[in-house]
Structure 1
Amino acid sequence: MSGKSAFGGLLLLALGAAGGWYFHDWSARRDPMPPVEETPPLVAEAEPPAPEKVEPTPPPANPLEQAFKDWSSAPELAGALIGYCVFDGEGKLLYGSPLAETALCPASALKTVTAGAAFGLLGPDFRFRTEVLAAGGISPAGTTTGDLVLKGGGDPTLSAEDLDVLAAQLAEKGLKRVEGSLKSDASVFPAEPVNEHWNWGDIGNAYGTGAYGLNVDHNVMSLWFDPGVKEGEPAKFGGSIPALGKTRWDVRVATGPVGSGDGVSIFSSPYAEVVQVRGTVPLGEKGFTVRGSVPNPPKLAEEIFRAALVKRGVTFGGRPHAVEETVPLAAHLSAPLPEIIDHMQLVSDNLEAQSLFLTMGRRADAPAAQVVKEYWEKAGVRFTGLRLIDGSGLARATMITPVDLARVNIAALKGPDGARYLQSLPGSSDGTLKAKRGAMSGVKTEVGFIIRDGKTYPFALMANGLGANVDFWKLRMSLLESIGQ
């Protein structure tokens, strides 16, 4: 090998060695490659278990609500409108049915609205006053100049006996002769004694008599009949008590079945001279009596009073006289207000209720309905849907909600005469119920208080649209028995 060749070989060897060293060093300086991680296969996650379903705890059941639902589902009540509410002794509403705040016809339960207001506006010492007036008094010779005036004060309880006592008072004072005439004055009340919303079929019957400024014997007359010998024959009309001399009778009354009772309706109007009588009386009951309203009570009172004076020797000259200032010669006072209200609530006397109603209006010189409504509003009752037409509940157009009717009674009980008001309400024999009922065709109502275990629960129950054969008073007992249990 030549020197040049050897040197070239060595050079190549050295370069190769150096290149190997450089490559090794470069390789060593590089960051190592990270290891490749294997991705595990996708596995579906398990859904968490559904939470256990927990039923919400129902609110405690209201036993009054359940009692009403059970009671009102009775087939006899189907289709009727029924409102019901119960309060505690402090006036907090314990339960009100769906119609508790819907205005319904109250019938005679409305008398509680009139009675409570009368205690507050007239006072327990109030008495109706009937007077006998004359110009100048009685002279030493026993005469009066001008007319003798029987002035009514709206007393619904004035009787023929009371008029007889007035005549006796005048005789004791020496009255022998009236130069003028005897006149009656009923102007204390409106000229129209019946409400325009009272039914034509009511006002001729005894319970529908008008409220006059001068009433007598509750403005009631009795008619009697003798039935025919067989069913269908005309009944014989025997007349009236008291006798109404100028009244013309249009009587068409037949003989009904045995035991059929009073099937007579009486049709008349205030001051009417013709009275229509229709219907039937039962076979076999001779002298069968029915009751109607006197068409002209002020005139009847005047005639009764005149007869009582004549019986005592008083004569009348009948001379016309100019109107003069008069002085009272005698007076009659009725029983105090609580006694009148006791009777009104017990027998549901429409005349007494309407007379009190009109008297409250007269004293305030304002419409009676306005006066009574404002009285209860001042006592804290906030009416909704009230339509106050009369004071007795005889008008079907009168409307009040069960809640408001109950609240009136609560306010009456809390008033200064509350204990006396409670006493006036008819009660059950065991003392657990003190309440006033109302009833007319298709309507039954009751408002008052359940008294149980020393607690008092005001309530009102009003049903409108009832069927004719529903025994409502018996049916409602189970509902009232649930109060306070």
Structure 2
Amino acid sequence: MYHLNIYPLRGWLLSLLASLILAHSVAYAKPANDTNNKTKDPQTTEATIAPELKHLPEKVVALIQKHKIPADELSILIQEVNTPKPLVEHEIDTPRNPASTMKLLTTWTALKELGPAWRWKTEVWTRGTVNNGVLQGDLILKGYGDPYLIYENFWQLMFDLRAKGLKDIQGNLIIDNSYFDVPEQLNQQFDKTPERVYNAIPSALMFNFQATRFLFSPNALTNKVEITTFPEGAIAKLDNQMMLREGRCTEENYNPVFVRQDAGAMLIRGDYATECGQQFIMRLMSSPSIHAAQAFRQFWQQLGGTISGTDQVGIAQSSDQLFYTYYSAPLIDQIRAINKWSNNVMTRQLLLTLGAKGIGVPGTTAKGSEVIKTYLNSVGINTQGLVIENGAGLSRDERLTARQMGQMLNLIWRDAYMPEFISSLPLLGEDGTLLKRFRHQALRGQAHLKTGTLNDVSALSGFLLTQTGKQLIVVIQHHGRHVSAGRAVQDALLEWAFNQ
């Protein structure tokens, strides 16, 4: 049997996280061409500029007219911090879909309400007696919403149980997800691709973003592509129809297609080039409770432990005994993972946590939304028109105005937690979802900005340092049929702001 390495290096995990989240962040977005400094501006004159555009920079107006973008599709706010009058404002009171820039509201509220050092816990309870390392009874795993219980961390939890002397479980494994109240569903039907990892639903005990890992390994000796899954029991039956091809690892030669079949079976077909080597692909295969239980069993057995009972969903009782508590990485580290790579399910975990801590258990999205609105109102931000569905921006219904975003960014700039929060945002041309933008221009490294991209939505919000040392707030929202040209408009606005 093929055995996976159960204690991967931290660097590998960060790389895995980056590739996983980067995959989800572009999976549902329309592609856009890089237009930095490649297109000459069409000629514009005062007479040809529509009245509603005359207050915008000339190059931006030229692009809007060239691509026939209706003026009412855009909201723009560019303002120096701590100053009352914006440099540019356009349609800033129109509620628009913010896409993933909505994550700024959720993560900032969490930072203020919970504090940067906040940690989630995962508890292990016993229902029965433990003698000489043998539990005569059930083991209960109770989650409290840790968004980052990935392979390394979950393995550490298992290792700590073994270090405390637990060897054999003569009973059932019970998963307790009662800290959150999430409607029962297989997964989100946001874009008719429920197996994609960005569609993962939250749960109080969430292992590795709910994603099953598929390891593709070309075998030249057998002329086949071997596929291994983790957890091992995630697929009832795997129909491997992958075709091994000679050649480079191009898009045509690396295109596995996943097809769900009846009774938990999965068909995987497509071409795979020998030069692709081993590759990992993540997909949602099972419910959160089953996924966590399968991972526990595989780790536990690899560490030499045994378990004789079945997997169940239940609730820890007052008569049970607390055996061990695992604590997560601090909130500020998790916010960096969320904002740098735009992780949806981590943000949703955060919203539910806000609801549970701020209003009461179980945490719900409605409670989390209320906590955010209450906080924003308390600091003087009018929340009229604000719609929060899941706090992550993976929504067709969420709405936010450029003024509301700008007011919050101005508030952040004056707050003691400002350095921690700004460091969580992608750095232009350097990392995260902005890694490939302005990599070879003077703007590289000059802005911390959160991106947001959906079909018919493109957004950008954050801070930009000008070449003269001014710190600017930038909010750009584009919502409509002409959003494919939004990248060019965004870049032109950033270039103009940098030169102020």
Q: TM-score, normalised by structure 1?
A: 0.73
The amino acid across from 2:451 in the alignment is: R
CA distance in 1, matches of 2:450, 2:168: 49
Q: Which amino acid aligns with 1:221?
A: T
Counterpart position of 2:377: 377
Q: Is the 8 A contact 2:225 2:244 kept in 1?
A: no
TM superposition shift of 1:446:
0.2
Q: Find the residue that maps to 1:158 and give its secondary structure.
A: coil
Distance 1:462 1:315, change over 3 A: same
Letter in 2 for 1:412: I
CA contact (8 A) 2:225 2:272 kept: no
Question: 1:267, 1:370 → 2: CA distance?
Answer: 39
d(CA) in 2 for partners of 1:423, 1:260 = 38
> What amino acid does structure 1 have at the position aligned with 2:67?
P
Corresponding residue to 2:446 among 416, 427, 432: 432
CA distances 1:271-295 after superposition (whole Å, capped 9, x unpaired): x953777996578877776432242
Q: Distance in 1 between matches of 2:449 and 2:117?
A: 24
Q: Which runs of 5+ in 1 are unaligned?
A: 1-60, 228-234
Q: Which residue is equivalent to 1:175?
A: 166
Matched letter for residue 320 of structure 2 = T
| Matched residue, 1:479 | 493
Q: Which amino acid aligns with 1:166?
A: L
- Which of residues 356, 360, 363 is equivalent to 1:362? 356
- CA 73–210 in structure 1, closer or farther in 2 if over 3 Å, else same: same
Q: How has the CA–CA distance of structure 1 residues 160 and 449 changed in structure 2, closer, same or farther, with 3 Å as cutoff? A: closer
Specify the alignment match of 1:330 in structure 2: 324
Q: Does the Cα contact within 8 Å between 1:226 and 1:238 map onto a contact in 2?
A: yes
Pairs within 5 Å for 1:460-471:
460-467=475-482, 470=485
- Separation in structure 2 between the aligned mates of residue 253 and residue 465 of structure 1, nearest angstrom: 39
Q: Which residue of 2 aligns with 1:112?
A: 104
Task: Determine if contact 1:135/1:146 at 8 Å carries over to the other structure.
Answer: yes
Q: Is the 8 A contact 1:134 1:145 kept in 2?
A: no
Going from structure 1 to structure 2, the CA distance change for 1:268 and 1:413 (only over 3 Å counts) comes to: farther
Residues 36-82 of structure 1: per-residue CA shift (max 9 Å, x gap): xxxxxxxxxxxxxxxxxxxxxxxxx9875656534432326468811
Residue 369 of structure 1, CA deviation:
1.0
Q: Secondary structure at the match of 2:192?
A: helix
Contact 2:449/2:460 (CA < 8 Å) preserved in 1?
A: yes
State how many pairs are aligned.
414
Q: Which whole-Å deviations, capped at 9, do the CAs of 1:357-391 have from their partners, x for residues lacking one? A: 11101112261111111111112111232111112
- CA deviation after TM superposition for structure 1 residue 344, in Å: 1.1
Cα offset for 1:173?
2.3
On the 8 A contact 1:193/1:210 being kept in 2, the answer is no
Shift of 1:337: 0.8
SS at match of 2:232: coil
Pairwise mapping of residues 57-456 of structure 1 onto structure 2 (< 5 A)? 64=56, 68-75=60-67, 77=69, 81-90=73-82, 92-95=84-87, 97-135=89-127, 138-139=130-131, 141-192=132-183, 199-223=190-214, 238=227, 240-247=229-236, 259-260=251-252, 274=264, 290-316=281-307, 318=309, 325-363=319-357, 364-365=359-360, 367-428=367-428, 430-452=444-466, 453-456=468-471
Cα contact 2:385–2:400 (8 A) shared by 1: yes
Q: Is the alpha carbon distance of 1:74 and 1:224 closer, same or farther for their aligned partners in structure 2, counting shifts above 3 Å?
A: farther
Change in CA separation of 1:370 and 1:324 when aligned onto 2, cut-off 3 Å: closer
For residues 130 and 255 of structure 1, what CA distance do their matches in structure 2 show? 42
Residues 212 and 230, structure 2, Cα contact 8 Å, conserved in 1: yes
CA pair 208-277 structure 1, distance change in 2 beyond 3 A: farther
* Residues 198, 394 of structure 1: 8 Å contact kept: no
CA shift for structure 1 position 443: 1.5
The amino acid that maps onto 1:381 is I
Alpha-carbon distance between aligned partners in 2 of 1:251 and 1:419, rounded to the nearest angstrom? 49
Question: SS at 1:244's partner residue?
Answer: helix
8 Å CA contact retained: 2:93, 2:403? yes
Does residue 458 (structure 1) correspond to residue 473 (structure 2)? The answer is yes
Mapped partners of 2:150, 2:198: distance in 1: 17
C-alpha displacement of 1:265: 6.8
CA distance in 2: counterparts of 1:376 and 1:176, whole angstroms = 49
Distance in 1 (CA, whole Å) between partners of 2:482 and 2:287 is: 36
- The letter of the residue matching 1:435 is L
Contact 1:177-1:316 at 8 Å conserved across structures: yes
State how far apart, in whole Å, the 1-side matches of 2:376 and 2:321 are: 38
Q: Single out whichever of 86-95 and 444-453 deviates more from structure 2.
A: 86-95
Q: Which residue of 2 aligns with 1:51?
A: none
> Is contact 1:432–1:451 with CA below 8 Å preserved after alignment?
yes
- Name the % identity: 23
For residue 133 of structure 1, report the CA deviation from its aligned partner: 0.9
Q: Is the 8 A contact 1:162 1:332 kept in 2?
A: no
1:45 is matched with which residue? none
Q: Contact conserved, 2:197 with 2:211, CA < 8 A, in 1?
A: yes
Contact 1:431-1:451 at 8 Å conserved across structures: no
- Conserved in 2, the CA contact under 8 Å of 1:432 and 1:450? yes
1:3-82 maps to which residues of 2 (within 5 A)? 64=56, 68-75=60-67, 77=69, 81-82=73-74
Q: What are structure 2's unaligned runs of at least 5 residues?
A: 1-52, 219-223, 361-365, 431-443
* CA shift in 2, pair 1:246/1:206, >3 Å: closer
The AA in structure 1 aligned to 2:194 is: I
1:195/1:399 Cα in 2 relative to 1: closer, same or farther (>3 Å)? farther
- Report the CA distance between 1:168 and its aligned residue: 2.5
Q: Which amino acid aligns with 2:162?
A: A
Secondary structure at the residue paired with 2:154?
Answer: helix
Quote the RMSD (CA, aligned, Å): 3.8
My pick for the range that moved more, 112-121 or 290-299, is 290-299
Check conservation: 1:143, 1:177, Cα contact below 8 A. Answer: yes
In structure 2, relative to structure 1, the CA distance for the partners of 1:323 and 1:99 (3 Å cut) is closer
The structure whose Rg is larger is: 1
Output the CA distance in 2 between the equivalents of 1:222 and 1:148: 25
Query: Matched residues in 2 for 1:463 and 1:479: separation?
Result: 13
Q: Deviations over 1:221-276 (max 9, x none)?
A: 3446799xxxxxxx98946444335545689999999734776676879xx95377
8 Å contact kept, 1:101–1:384: no
**What residue in structure 2 maps to residue 34 of structure 1?**
none
1:345/1:273 CA distance change after superposition, 3 Å: farther
State whether residues 234 and 291 of structure 2, in contact with CA within 8 Å, keep that contact through their aligned partners in structure 1: no
